[in-house]
Structure 1
Amino acid sequence: MRDNKYTDYTDFLKDRKFIQWQLLPDDRLDEYWHAFIEKNPDLTAELSYAKEYLKTSVLNKPSMTENERLSLLKKIQSSTQVVRKKRKLRRYLQYASAACAVIAIIVGLLYFSREESSSFEHNKDLISGNQLNNENIQLITAEKTISYKENIDVAITTEGTVKVIQSGREESIETEGGFLNKLIVPYGKRSKIELADGSNVWLNSGSVVEFPSTFSKQSREIYLSGEMYIEVAPEKNRSFYVHTPDFLVKVYGTKFNVSTYTDTPSSVVLVEGSVALQASKKHPEQRLHPNELAIFDPQSNTFDKRLVDINSFISWKDGYLIFDKTPIPEVLKQIERYYNLSFNFGQDIQLQKRTCTGKIYLSDNLDNVMATIALLTSTKYTRTEHQIYITNENN
């Protein structure tokens, strides 16, 4: 028989036992609400709406200040941890008061229009994202393949030994001189390599570089897919080459950034020194000067060059991103790579045309990053477990 106490999702949001079940779950509450659903299957949809509303709307309403949201979120997270660890009842009751505070907030918010409380799944003004599973960094040599869960630094000695440093621990790996080693850095990870000649390479997320343990006497050559910033050690007698899927970079002792991701145009930004770019042997070299950006056009095999602020292109290696009226889809592409996320864009063209101007520090705390993006793009974001929702600020 239907429980007449509940007619729609708002009734659940006024129910203290339901709020406690969502914020402070335990076996007793799980048993109670599972039994309720079995007895009232026609209320399943309304119950789901209530869950979604609680997760995605309460902590992100303009009626709450940012400090209030952060404080409430901290209390809720602490409460959940306390219950899961089954700590003393006295501490449970101390944190459980957070749930009571949430009830009062929710009841007040329910008097906004019902359209505001609709599920994100039905909201067209939406960019949704998912956190993907992190993969390990892989170092492939002639002898073995080694996986690393955390970011690593790699150094090649003059004798050709590969030294890997992870979390303060150093490991030495013997390699064969004539074999190209491969370092695979998946999305969500980064690495740094000091090559045998003393050149330093910073590898961004989603990149692969192939390099020898010792360079030949005639030249120094590496192969890149993805993005790197490199400071090449100058040598008069041996040129340095970077091979990419689209073009060749010939280096004359310099600092520059190369980006060859498949979902964005390939480019080179020169910080200092000089480089020559060549699409193929059939095409002439094009010299690049400091503070110039060259974007590769695969249709004509040419480069479009222009002066830029180089910091916007190389700041990622120092842990932050700089944007200047950058469309939000381009901003999120960089966030995707750095944090191993996947964003899906809805039909709202206005939202996608929002731009971002400012600096975003690439903190280990993803919430700090998303909060900064929301501030710089005049949007709102909500994060629930492994999902992220971005909506217009006036929703």
Structure 2
Amino acid sequence: MKKTQTPWEAIGAYLDNRSDKENEAIVKEWLKQSPKNVRQFKEIVDTRYLTQQKTDRYQPNTEKLWGELIERIQPVQKKSKRLLMPYLKYTAIAAAIVLAFLVGKIQHSGENANVGLSQLYSTLSTEPGERSHMMLPDGTKVWLNTDSELKYASDFNQEHRDVYVTGECYFEVAKNARKPFVVHANDLQVKVYGTHFNVKESSKTKQSEVTLVEGKVEVLSPENKSLSYLSPGEKLTLKGDKYRIDKAENPKVLIAWTQGVLVFVDQPFEEVVSYLENWYGVTIQLDQSLHNNHRFTFKVKTESLREVLELISVITPIQYNIDGEKVFIKSKRS
């Protein structure tokens, strides 16, 4: 199938609830080929939905509107990418509409829920070295650290308040005693009704962390098994199937990144390097001899990566080399 060819028959079969696996595969493949195809499909679904709504004053001619849509859909594809989903007004970074094909049943807050063939999601993501924040439809405020992603379904806050995250996110959840707010990460879930907390997962260390700043949260496994309740100032760290709970001396230090500040308090060199990689969007190769030998306490706000490395070199015998997005740090030779 050519990239410019629209699979009208397959799309029509889906919209008329007579789609089979072959048609579904055709539509999936077409959607993967281009963001324009996703935009086109979204417009088709929206128009189809609107033309099927009933009103006391006006009953639309669905066949006519459907035909007009097909005739004008091709010119729409030629518009600038800047027009993609213009009604999503995230100032820091554009949100993308992701079409997720879901078949059968999924786990939703521990209960099986029937879902349709497709569901629209709003996604906010950051690149390495970028940070962003937004407000969800229920009034919850979310900050995304570098190289992170947050996704929520189009029916968010209607019956459920579920979000899906990767990387690191800080939440100030709007209170709603009737609708729990649930954060789904790869290795755990966090269930709250209104509180402030931080969720962080790392593919490098293969562990997840939940830090509670205020209020109360329940941490659960992906299978919906309760692991623990946290009190303000506590941090739960999960690695594999084992977890521990520590008392954070100053939990606000751990979320200083939401204010554009990176704070280190007596942290090992290798951990500092991991944070700097994400903060500046680089890859750092640290000489093995420097592991477990140095600990640092300092703050980064507006300093460049070179300024930070210069600071470290003053208090630690190292030399470094910056080559584009790659950084090499090794012991200074005597």
- TM-score w.r.t. length of structure 1: 0.53
The alignment status of 1:162 with 2:88, answered yes or no, reads: yes
For 1:173 and 1:258, locate their aligned partners in 2 and report how far apart those are by CA, in whole Å: 22
Corresponding residue number in structure 1 for 2:245: 305
Corresponding residue number in structure 1 for 2:297: 358
Match of 1:245 among 158, 163, 186: 186
For 2:92 and 2:156, locate their aligned partners in 1 and report how far apart those are by CA, in whole Å: 25
Over alpha carbons, which structure has the higher Rg?
A: 1
Match of 1:222 among 157, 163, 168: 163
For the structure 1 residues 147 and 340, does the alpha-carbon distance in structure 2 shift closer, same or farther, using more than 3 Å as the test?
A: farther
Q: Secondary structure at the match of 1:290?
A: coil
For 2:147 and 2:234, locate their aligned partners in 1 and report how far apart those are by CA, in whole Å: 24
For 1:386 and 1:239, locate their aligned partners in 2 and report how far apart those are by CA, in whole Å: 41
Q: Name the amino acid aligned to 2:311.
A: T
- Counterpart mapping for 1:345-384 below 5 A: 345-348=286-289, 351-363=290-302, 365-375=304-314, 377-383=316-322
Alpha-carbon shift at residue 197 of structure 1 (Å): 0.9
Q: Secondary structure at the match of 2:91?
A: strand
Does structure 2 retain, via aligned residues, the 8 Å contact 1:251–1:275? yes
Structure number with the bigger relative contact order (C-alpha 8 A, sep ≥ 6) is 1
CA deviation map 1:332-381 (0-9, x unaligned): 11111111111223342xx2223333223143622222223334545343
For 1:252 and 1:365, locate their aligned partners in 2 and report how far apart those are by CA, in whole Å: 39
The alignment status of 1:275 with 2:275, answered yes or no, reads: no
Unaligned 5+ segments in structure 2 are 1-34, 44-79, 100-117
Match of 2:151 among 210, 213, 227: 210
Corresponding residue number in structure 2 for 1:25: none
For the structure 1 residues 390 and 222, does the alpha-carbon distance in structure 2 shift closer, same or farther, using more than 3 Å as the test?
A: same
For 1:321 and 1:173, locate their aligned partners in 2 and report how far apart those are by CA, in whole Å: 28
CA deviation map 1:155-210 (0-9, x unaligned): xxxxx95212159xxx8999999521122322121111111111111111121211
Q: Name the amino acid aligned to 1:269.
A: T
Does structure 2 retain, via aligned residues, the 8 Å contact 1:207–1:226? yes
Match of 2:233 among 283, 291, 303: 291
Alpha-carbon shift at residue 252 of structure 1 (Å): 2.5
For the structure 1 residues 249 and 392, does the alpha-carbon distance in structure 2 shift closer, same or farther, using more than 3 Å as the test?
A: same
For the structure 1 residues 210 and 306, does the alpha-carbon distance in structure 2 shift closer, same or farther, using more than 3 Å as the test?
A: same
For 1:378 and 1:323, locate their aligned partners in 2 and report how far apart those are by CA, in whole Å: 19
For the structure 1 residues 276 and 172, does the alpha-carbon distance in structure 2 shift closer, same or farther, using more than 3 Å as the test?
A: closer
For the structure 1 residues 292 and 260, does the alpha-carbon distance in structure 2 shift closer, same or farther, using more than 3 Å as the test?
A: same
Q: Name the amino acid aligned to 2:237.
A: I
Q: Secondary structure at the match of 2:226?
A: coil
Does structure 2 retain, via aligned residues, the 8 Å contact 1:370–1:381? yes
Does structure 1 retain, via aligned residues, the 8 Å contact 2:126–2:146? yes
Q: Name the amino acid aligned to 1:390.
A: I
How many residues are aligned here? 239
Alpha-carbon shift at residue 282 of structure 1 (Å): 6.3
For the structure 1 residues 384 and 370, does the alpha-carbon distance in structure 2 shift closer, same or farther, using more than 3 Å as the test?
A: same
For the structure 1 residues 328 and 253, does the alpha-carbon distance in structure 2 shift closer, same or farther, using more than 3 Å as the test?
A: same
The alignment status of 1:266 with 2:208, answered yes or no, reads: yes
Mean Cα deviation higher: 179-188 or 369-378: 369-378
Does structure 2 retain, via aligned residues, the 8 Å contact 1:239–1:250? yes
For 1:263 and 1:174, locate their aligned partners in 2 and report how far apart those are by CA, in whole Å: 28
Corresponding residue number in structure 2 for 1:80: none
Q: Name the amino acid aligned to 1:306.
A: D
For the structure 1 residues 290 and 337, does the alpha-carbon distance in structure 2 shift closer, same or farther, using more than 3 Å as the test?
A: same
Does structure 2 retain, via aligned residues, the 8 Å contact 1:232–1:255? yes
The alignment status of 1:390 with 2:332, answered yes or no, reads: no
For 1:216 and 1:388, locate their aligned partners in 2 and report how far apart those are by CA, in whole Å: 44
The alignment status of 1:339 with 2:265, answered yes or no, reads: no
Does structure 2 retain, via aligned residues, the 8 Å contact 1:196–1:213? no
Q: Name the amino acid aligned to 1:254.
A: T
Does structure 1 retain, via aligned residues, the 8 Å contact 2:192–2:217? yes
Does structure 2 retain, via aligned residues, the 8 Å contact 1:183–1:208? yes
For 1:147 and 1:248, locate their aligned partners in 2 and report how far apart those are by CA, in whole Å: 35
Runs of 4+ in 1 over 6 A off after TM superposition: 171-177
- TM-score w.r.t. length of structure 2: 0.62
CA deviation map 1:247-293 (0-9, x unaligned): 11001211111001211221100000110001144633410110001
